[in-house]
Amino acid sequence: MSRSTKTVGEVLIDILEANGVDTVFGIPGVHTVELYRGLAGSKIRHVTPRHEQGAAFMADGYARVSGKPGVCLLITGPGLTNAITAMAQAQQDSVPMLVISGVNARATLGHGRGKLHELPDQRAMMASFCLMTHTLLEPGDLAEVMARAFTILGSGRPGPVHIEIPTDVMSAQIPATVPKAAPRLRPRGEKAVIEEAARLCAMAARPLILAGGGAVAAADAIGMLASRLDAPVITTANARGLLPGHPLAVPASASLHSVRAEIAAADLVLALGTQFGPTDYDVYVDGGFPKLDSVIHVDVDAVQLSRYPDSRVSVLSTVENAAADLLSLVPDVLPTRGGAERASLLRQSARSELSAKMQHEVAILERIRTALPGLIIVGDSTQAIYAGNLYYDADRPHGWFNAATGFGALGYGPPAAVGAALAEPGTPVVCLTGDGGLQFTLAEIGSARDAGARVIFLVWNNDGYQEIETYMIDNGITPEGVKPSAPDFVKIGEAYGLPSWRLDDISELEAALKSAAGHGGPTLIEVHERHTRGLRL
């Protein structure tokens, strides 16, 4: 017999299901157990990390690959503060994340009486970087608040949303109505604005497209538009794999001189879903990115459109909608602009601009890609990832992402790779992490095993924070604090029950990856710059 009422915690699970949530990440505690009351009877899978930061990083990786919000259930106080780093990374990289936390009972809020896990004002702390934060003081407001949260997550520029529920509200009884999915309001450019953008596209003699992370969902339409305009497509790190193998694709950073020269030579730049942030456009902080005189800037966020560059046409729209609208107006037959030749020359010049060491690292990344076609590489801040962000061509959308952009959080890779693997269980996922970064979230190897996540943890061991050590030396600073000791990662992997091995020679990499991919769960492979022959020039 159906019930006329349910607890807030039970209805919350119903609402999550109605909005397409199939996985949540969290560590249950006394401040959230009532949110779990309806979980066992639902179709939602619960994944338990070893740390709340890991929960939110998992949600991040899951969201990037699935396209759906990553969802966390966290206790009040330390559970939520542990996740702030990962939530801030999601804010920087525009990743949809829904964090539902506990908070102490309503009558205690703001009194500072030393309640367990108490903060002076938890919601105010989250308001500094969340798209929305709300304290559910009235149980009957649950459906309305959750609808607003999901609409925000699915409509404009994505990011973290936070809902906190007091412990006494979680167990309150409310009507057990059938929840509905929240509306997604995807902006579309005004007709006159799109028409002007199409006119400029048709007139351009040397057009060029800059595609950021906000463009990935529109890969097919962008490919058709680029072909029609005969325009090279330069992708930021978060857009790599947008047009795999396409003759117009240029998987190179706009921080490289050759790429900047091509951008400067364009008479029209079509900027799609990109923030023009320094970690993509000025990674060396030399201020050398060219001034753009003729830009069509497409973004879902009006605030982003108000920032650099001063665009000729600003289009408030999803990239999917804008690309489709432009395709309907730009003529099918346009004069050739030499786009494929420009793109080919730019790929060659951009790659040759890398140091010999970086070119070697990119070649190893390409060996990984060749060994496991269609794979996802989830990176941490390590030297091979830095090289790949400058130049690497993923062979699929969402096939390359990492924490070495935007907020730049170490320890991102292992839990984010777990989330990615759970979003696409049949896809090979390689977590490329350094010995330093892995130790930030080392225990999430155990979470991967519990969840059966088929992640290959590829540990690039260079005995410390080599990137920082090199930076210190280059700037005349005696290196200090850059040699943290590391455990035997193979033994650590084996202790968690993972098949684990260390390569003697880099020539063994492809076979090792294929063997690891055939395993039914997580594995670990270590390559060491001093002990693996061929890893370092």
pLDDT (average), residues 324-352: 94
- The owner of tokens 């061929």 is 534
Number of Cβ atoms within 10 Å of the Cβ of 524: 25
Q: How confident is the model at residue 1 (pLDDT cuts 50, 70, 90)?
A: very low
Whether residue 524 sits in one domain with residue 386: yes
Q: Is 466 a domain residue?
A: yes
Q: Is 180 a domain residue?
A: no
Whether residue 146 sits in one domain with residue 53: yes
Per-residue b or e along 419-453, where b marks 16 or more CB atoms closer than 10 Å to that residue's CB: bbbbbbeebbbbbbbbbbbbbbbbbbbbbbbbbeb
Upper half-sphere CA count for residue 164 (Cβ side, 13 Å): 27
**Residue bearing the bigger pLDDT, 31 or 504:** 504
Residue 127, exposed/middle/buried by CB under 10 A (0-12, 13-18, 19+)? middle
Task: Quote the number of domains for the chain.
Answer: 3
pLDDT at 279 over 60: yes
Q: Is 35 a domain residue?
A: yes
Rg (CA), the chain: 24
The gap between the terminal CA atoms of the chain, to the nearest Å, is 70
pLDDT at 158 over 90: yes
Whether residue 358 sits in one domain with residue 275: no
Q: What is the pLDDT of residues 388-445, one digit of tens each?
A: 999 999 999 999 999 988 888 999 999 999 999 999 999 999 999 999 999 999 999 9
- The owner of tokens 């969802």 is 71
Residue 157 · residue 304 · CB < 8 Å: yes
Task: Please name which of 260, 238, 196 lies closest in space to residue 63, comparing C-alpha atoms.
Answer: 238
**What CATH number should be reported for the domain holding residue 250?**
3.40.50.1220
| Pairing assessment for the beta strands 23-26 and 70-74 based on DSSP bridges | parallel
**What CATH number should be reported for the domain holding residue 480?**
3.40.50.970
Whether residue 233 sits in one domain with residue 376: no
Rounded to an integer, what distance in angstroms lies between the CA atom of residue 357 and that of residue 363?
A: 10
Q: Is 535 a domain residue?
A: no
Answer with the one of 288, 317, 350 that is the final residue of a domain: 350
What average pLDDT does the chain have?
94
Give the model's pLDDT for residue 484.
86
pLDDT at 35 over 60: yes
pLDDT (average), residues 332-354: 93
Q: Is 88 a domain residue?
A: yes
Q: Is 374 a domain residue?
A: yes
CA dihedral (249, 252, 257, 261) in degrees, to 10, reads: 20
Strand partners, 448: none
Token pair in block for residue 311: 């665009």
Amino acid (one-letter) located at 394: A
pLDDT at 250 over 50: yes
Give the model's pLDDT for residue 495.
97
Contact partners, residue 335, CB within 8 Å, separation at least 6: none
Q: What is the DSSP letter of 353?
A: H
Give the model's pLDDT for residue 469.
84
Whether residue 217 sits in one domain with residue 302: yes
Whether residue 425 sits in one domain with residue 278: no
Inter-axis angle of helices 191-203 and 319-329, to 10 degrees? 60
Q: What is the pLDDT of residues 85-124, one digit of tens each?
A: 999 999 999 999 999 999 988 888 888 888 878 888 889 9
Whether residue 258 sits in one domain with residue 126: no
Amino acid (one-letter) located at 315: V
pLDDT at 333 over 80: no
Q: Is 186 a domain residue?
A: no
Whether residue 457 sits in one domain with residue 475: yes
| Pairing assessment for the beta strands 500-502 and 455-461 based on DSSP bridges | unpaired
Whether residue 395 sits in one domain with residue 329: no
Answer with the one of 122, 151, 175 that is the final residue of a domain: 175
Inter-axis angle of helices 52-66 and 444-451, to 10 degrees? 50
Strand partners, 174: 6
Q: Is 520 a domain residue?
A: yes
Percent of the chain past pLDDT 70, that is, above it, reads 100
Whether residue 89 sits in one domain with residue 136: yes
Inter-axis angle of helices 356-371 and 383-390, to 10 degrees? 90
Whether residue 163 sits in one domain with residue 207: no
Residue 182, exposed/middle/buried by CB under 10 A (0-12, 13-18, 19+)? buried
Determine the structural domain holding residue 238 and report its residue range: 191-350
Rounded to an integer, what distance in angstroms lies between the CA atom of residue 511 and that of residue 96?
A: 36
| Torsion sign, CA atoms 412, 414, 415, 417 | positive
Task: Please name which of 392, 244, 395, 233 lies closest in space to residue 323, comparing C-alpha atoms.
Answer: 233
Sheet strand arrangement including 233-235: 249-250, 233-235, 207-211, 268-272, 295-299, 313-316
Q: Is the peptide bond before 251 cis (omega within 30 degrees of 0)?
A: no
Give the model's pLDDT for residue 25.
98
Answer with the one of 308, 331, 350 that is the final residue of a domain: 350
Whether residue 393 sits in one domain with residue 522: yes
